[in-house]
Structure 1
Amino acid sequence: MSSDNGQGESSGEAPEQLALLRETVRKRKSPKAKPRTWRGAQLAGELPVARVLVDKGLVHLDRYFDYAVPAAMDEEAQPGVRVRVRFGAGEKEGRREGGRLINGFIVERVAHSDYPGALAPIAQVLSPERVLTPQLLRLCRAVADRYAGSLADVVQLAVPPRMARAEKRPSPEPQPPPEPPVPGTWERYAEGPGYLTALAGGGTPRAVWTALPGPHWPEELARAVVAALASGRGALAVLPDGRAAQRVDAALTSLLGDGHHVLLTAEAGPEERYTRWLAVKRGSVRAVVGTRAAMFAPVRDLGLAVLWDDGDAALSDDHAPQPHAREVLLQRAVTEQTGFLLGGHSCTVEAAQIVESGWARPIEAGRETLRRAAPLIRTVGEFDEARDPAARTARLPSIAWSTARDALQRGPVLVQVPRRGYVPRLSCEQCRAPARCAHCSGPLEAPEEGAVLRCGWCAREAPDWHCAQCGGTRVRGRVFGARRTAEELGRAFPSVPVRTSGRDHVLESVPASPAIVVSTPGAEPVAEGPGYAAALLLDAWALLGRPDLRAGEEALRRWLSAAALVRPGGEGDDGDGTVLVVAEPTLRPVQALVRWDPAGFAVRELADRAELGFPPVSRMAAVSGRPEAVAGLLSQARLPGDAEVLGPVPVAVIEPGRPRRPGDPPVGEEWVRALVRVPQGSGAAMASALKTAHVARLTRREGTPVWIRVDPQDIG
């Protein structure tokens, strides 16, 4: 090389200049120094790769996908925001440039991607609002792992749909912490004042609260929330329905005024609910009262998680992977180090197990306090009912008529009927065989008095029905609904108004004046003033006779919820409340109602479950699908060594016309269900094994899909 070409080391340039020249040449030759582009579009200079959770709830796509970040979106494309990306078609060619546009969330920004092909860019940043916070993402991941579901499905439950106008609204200014509340009616419980004091002092007390009957529980729950707010932390209260949430909302407003909390229920509408959710996420509001979906509310510095009436089926989500609010709030209490309060008039076996494990302490009233607050409970057994002519002709024993007649002189009377409709089940009057439809074998029902019989499955009328067993043409009622009961009582008490409350029309409250209120379980309205003068709990066999592990627990929960609306039965001006349950007195749930001892009932149920190996002592998963698909998945799943497979057994045929729930077989298709049981400590391994096997089968397209539900509420 010539010494005067200006490129060699002998050119006479200083060593520092040569070093700078070499570095400049190296950078020019290095592809990392060039502006990153995709089809001519420049990409972000720093952290040009975004890991995106796509909005596809398929379990075999339960992972993040890498996308390039265009330079124009660098500032807005931050972790937690919603984006639009192309997904699907182009991956077969090694690049994600085809496919349709779908929504997703940026999870993180990184410098490099492990994907071997060219990354497609993010198509659009829908909003700069970071709705999927790191804490919420961790919670959703934990819930998805527990229930063997996909992260995208859980995030869809946790983050409400975007409403652009709501994001443009300014959130209110945060309110200062309130003063610690006075105990009020919490003084009726020995541990109550101490629990509030611990919360207000910044502690994390955990308790299972068996609430006394009467109208005070919303205010007591609200005082617990105020105590958490007084410590400068947030609070979250989840209730099973909008009516209960509104009662707590009213109690909190009475204690604190406006601006300290929000109510998250479906009744608010999508835009208003998203506005309130954003106020919580931004830290403008520190307390949330809501229904099931509020269990994921992103409350900052959460200090207290409250759940009311955890036995209510409404607290188990209908959408995959069907998480239960109790388990989600327990997860938050552990990971976020918060206080915890599980309350209700009844007590589930899960609550009893929490207390037995020592993780939480019970909050109960003494027996003397309970006797002053509870109504008088009376029973009528099947033997007494069978000897009573009134019971045979009108389904109500004479003592029920006399109880209602006497109570109507003092106030309204509540009548709880397990079934809605008029006469939803009929049988042959001659041989007592169930009346069936000649077309689909569905149960016949009477829509109203004198109407033509109609099938409850296919809705066909049966004007010329005759019994297939004996040829009889006359029918009698086997099960009577709320409307038929209201009609009977209306004829018996013609001068008293009769109101009904059920699924189609739920009453919020009724006046304190004399009236008969016929309600299905869960739809009982609150009586103004001191409460109902009496309650009649009819057709107990319909609740206790269900082929379900929780039949007794659920029957007691529904009875206690209704009886708690009745005025006390002790001494005093309002001490004349009576509850009459038409059930065999020797049954365990009936005895627990008479003694008003839901916690004792739950402890005994837990002992029976432990002996049989049923939840919550064990963890279970239900695997449903076609027989060959269920067998294939269970044979491939690497279940823990202590796992036990029960079944499979045939799944009940779905009634035509009934809405399908997740996990229900298609109409006309034969499905089976197997139960996988493991001890408590192996629950995570079981869920992981089932999910891994399911993903492998879906990826290889082996057979038909199966439905996996971890910790099912109805195991039969």
Structure 2
Amino acid sequence: MTRDAQEGLFEAPAPAADPAPAPSSRPRTTAGFAVAGHDPVASVRLIGVLPHLDRPFDYAVPATLDAAGPGMRVKVRFSGREHDGIVLARSARASTDRPLAPLARLVSEDVVISPDMLRVCEEVAERCAGSVGDVLRLAIPPRHARAEKADRAAEEKESTEASAPPKDPVPAEETDEEDEASAAPSDDLLTAYAGLPALVSRAGAPQGPVPRAAVVLEPAHSWDELTAQAIESLPDGAGSLVIAPDQRDVQRLHRCLESHGIAHEVLTSADGPEKRYRAFRRILRGASRVVIGNRSAAFAPVADLALAICLDPADDLLVEPRAPYPHLRTILQARSAQEHCALLLVSRSLDPQTLFLAETGYLHLLPPVPAPLTAVRPHIEAMDEYLREREGPSGRSRMPQQAMRVLREGMARGPVLVQVPRSGYVPAVACTFCGTRCRCPQCAAPLVLRGHGGGLQCTVCGRREDAYRCPECSRTQVRALVIGSARTAEELRRAFPDAPFRVAGGAQGPVPDDDVPDGAIVVATPGAEPAPPGGFAAALLLDADAMLARAAYDADVEAVRRWSNAIALVRPQAEGGRVLIVGTATLPAIRDLVAHRSRIFLDRVMEDRRALDLPPISKVAEVVGDRPAVRSFLAQTALPDGTDVFGPVDVPEEDDRIRSRAVLRLPVERSRELADALRAGIAARSAHKVPGSLRVRLDPPDVF
């Protein structure tokens, strides 16, 4: 849809260019009801209907529902069933000469979506080859009557208190000293990055270009504190939206904003329907202009939105698992364009997509102001050949003596962190002789070791294999491919029997930030590390080669991201912080951690992706479904010229079903052509009721 067409969504539809029937005072309707006295025709967009029905439909407005206006939620009858819909516009004439059915019910008189947000939903649908109805289902939470009633009462109470005469101010001498201390300014992190104060000062400006930037934080700098200072620097009345990938990150930011005295709303997927809708309605009426949350808060209707911040945009938790599977970055980019709000991406390491956006001129990379390395990062070293030779035989082991020394010295100053790639005891086992991975003979799922002295067990059907025999060489001896967090903690307990232990991630669940005593050893999987208030005194990154050996084209970039997030939890070198990486020190990803702010690794990654036409250099789509459905979709969809089609190939799944998968690729400059073609193909398939299941995703995180 063109921009001109989008801007007219909430306006009365223009008369058709073709000869139309003579206008009448009333539209043709089905019998049995009286229409409204003015603008009796409502243009309604249905929510969650089939793709080929993803367009506005005209309905007659009964006299009893004359209050229905643009942006309100209604119930309508369509194809014999009742559907949710959004009123786009009211007009005097219909765009069709067919009799109009009436609006069934006005769900609420709340205007739940604005014209700008509707255009955002349309832009996201177009970029993701989806339907606007599916995006609306993501953007607007289901109505909760009790929450709406309670919030209306709160709104009336607030208006009554606002109209009451103001109370006498508290004398200055009676102000608590603690409040004055809490208001004292902390270190100014905004000035630590060149250009960041200018971006915040330009946020929400009605004129001029929209400021967009990305910041790679120094390990010693807190993203919570930087976000709080950015929000405090906004002008009064300006709205802000902050998205974090994880629920714990949202809670940490919540505590930070409370310490700064910043009123805000928390909107997360963990909230129940009532709490979520009440928060949504407070945001909708402008009572809360600072909103924080995870992926589900991306469409929060913040009034006067001036600044949108996203933490760790490369995290796969920011990919919506429901159709049309948009990435949070796509949603915020659409909001930045439609609502003219500044966009800031904050991360611990630079990812290829952000670098590509900077190279194309969409945003700017804001470098840090030079500072002593000992003040902004811990001492980072890798187990290179010199250290391994010095250690002797233990230097080639999984946990050399150098690692033990780092842990022992760190425990004397505070808690220490040990990061391992996988949870469990021994999550991957292989034949000692031929290296064939051990799999269940019944369902072919991986076999694992659950504990010390236990037999092999299937992760899917639960079958126990006490007498396993390799199907390739008939040998019975097996070895561990990957050591999990439980086995690592067991080994460390034997070496440090008096130290308190915490295991985070997997079946053990998370560890609270305040449950990490001094001298404790925390064994955690990537992303599950707690953040103690004083930081870790040391960190040990084990099995680095195993993280880099993951079967994915972005394994090295993802490993650097996870390592960088763990390093940010360690104290700076000036306070004794130290990090040891146990892996092949000559690998580019590990060398990138040791070198401070080097671009050699990421430049090499981008060079390789250009040579291989991998994202973000190319736009990639994945088509997965039943074998006949995938083949017929590819045969009937008019793909753009030059589209590379890989497959379809059969992919066996755990439930013994055989599904097909095809990958489509086109230069990123023509990404809209690919999205439009896939969208048209999905709509045509829906209109012809082609049997079989099918899923189409653009830019899936695990495509290669």
TM class by shorter-chain length?
Answer: 0.7 to 0.9
1:432-471 matched pairs, under 5 angstroms: 432-471=435-474
The question of 1:285 aligning with 2:274 is answered no
Confirm or deny: 8 A CA contact 1:190 1:363 kept in the other structure: yes
Q: How does 1:591-630 map to 2 (within 5 A)?
A: 591-597=591-597, 601-630=601-630
Matches of 2:129 and 2:103 in 1, distance apart? Answer: 29
Q: Which amino acid aligns with 1:239?
A: A
Partner of 1:222: 228
For 1:211-231, what per-residue CA distance to the aligned partner results, in whole angstroms no more than 9, with x for missing partners?
111352211111112222x25
AA aligned to 1:151 is V
Q: Offset of 1:371 from its aligned partner?
A: 4.2
Larger radius of gyration: 1
Residue in structure 2 matching 1:254, options 259, 262, 269: 259
Q: Give 1:205-244 correspondences, 5 Å limit.
A: 205-214=211-220, 216-228=222-234, 230=235, 232-244=237-249
- After superposition, residues 311-710 of structure 1 pair within 5 angstroms as 311-380=314-383, 389-390=393-394, 395-504=398-507, 505-509=509-513, 510-529=515-534, 531-569=535-573, 571=574, 574=575, 576-597=576-597, 601-641=601-641, 643-650=642-649, 652-656=651-655, 667-677=656-666, 679-702=667-690, 704-710=692-698
The 1-side partners of 2:345 and 2:603 are apart by 16
Distance in structure 2 (CA, Å) of the matches to 1:383 and 1:669: 51
Q: Unaligned stretches of 5+ in structure 2?
A: 1-21, 163-182
SS in 2 for 1:692: helix
Q: CA deviation at 1:382?
A: 8.9
CA contact (8 A) 1:512 1:528 kept: no
Does the CA contact (< 8 Å) of 1:49 and 1:110 recur in 2?
yes
* Structure 1 residues 222 and 652: alpha-carbon distance in aligned structure 2, compared to 1, 3 A threshold: farther
Select between 354-363 and 545-554 the one with higher mean Cα deviation: 354-363
After TM superposition, give the deviation of residue 628 of structure 1 in Å: 4.5
Cα distance change on mapping 1:129 and 1:347 into 2, 3 Å = same
Once the 2 structures are TM-superposed, how far is the Cα of residue 181 of structure 1 from its aligned partner?
Answer: 8.4
* CA-CA distance at 1:299 after TM superposition: 1.3
**RMSD, matched Cα:** 2.8
1:441-482 C-alpha deviation (Å, 9 max, x unpaired) = 222111112223211232211223222233333332221111
Q: Residue 177 of structure 2 corresponds to which residue in structure 1?
A: none
Paired with 1:124 and 1:369, the residues of 2 have a C-alpha distance of 65
Q: CA deviation at 1:109?
A: 2.1
Gaps of 5+ in 1: 1-29, 89-98, 657-666
Q: Provide the C-alpha distance between the structure 2 equivalents of 1:35 and 1:86, rounded to a whole number of angstroms.
A: 18
Change (3 A) 1:626 1:384: farther
What's the % identity of the aligned pairs? 39
Taking structure 2 as the reference length, the TM-score comes to 0.86
Q: Report if the CA contact (8 A) 1:425-1:478 is conserved.
A: yes
Q: Deviations over 1:41-74 (max 9, x none)?
A: 2122222222222233422221222222211111
1:561 counterpart SS class: helix
Q: How far apart are 1:367 and its partner, in Å?
A: 5.0
Q: What are the Cα deviations for residues 360-405 of structure 1, in whole angstroms up to 9, with x where unaligned?
A: 2222224544442111111125997799644777x31222122112
Length, aligned pairs only:
652
Q: CA 1:557/1:35 → structure 2, altered by over 3 Å: closer, same or farther?
A: closer
Aligned AA for 1:247? R
Q: Give the match for residue 83 of structure 1.
A: 74
Match of 2:52 among 60, 65, 83: 60
Q: Deviations over 1:166-224 (max 9, x none)?
A: 2221456699xxx9988713333333444444449878432211111135221111111
Deviation of 1:688 after TM superposition, in Å, equals: 0.6
- Work out whether residues 502 and 516 of structure 2, in 8 Å CA contact, stay in contact via their aligned partners in 1: no
Q: How far 1:493 sits from its partner (Å)?
A: 0.6
Contact 1:698-1:705 within 8 A present in 2 as well: no
Aligned partners of 1:390 and 1:397 also within 8 Å: yes
Paired position in structure 2 for 1:299: 302
The separation in 2 between residues aligned to 1:645 and 1:411, in whole angstroms, is: 54
Partner of 1:146: 127
Q: Distance in 1 between matches of 2:26 and 2:382?
A: 85
SS of 1:377 mapped into structure 2: strand
The AA in structure 1 aligned to 2:478 is: V
SS of alignment partner, residue 638 of structure 1 = coil
Q: Within 2, Cα distance between the matches of 1:109 and 1:180?
A: 53
What is the alpha-carbon distance in structure 2 between the residues aligned to residue 234 and residue 242 of structure 1?
Answer: 22
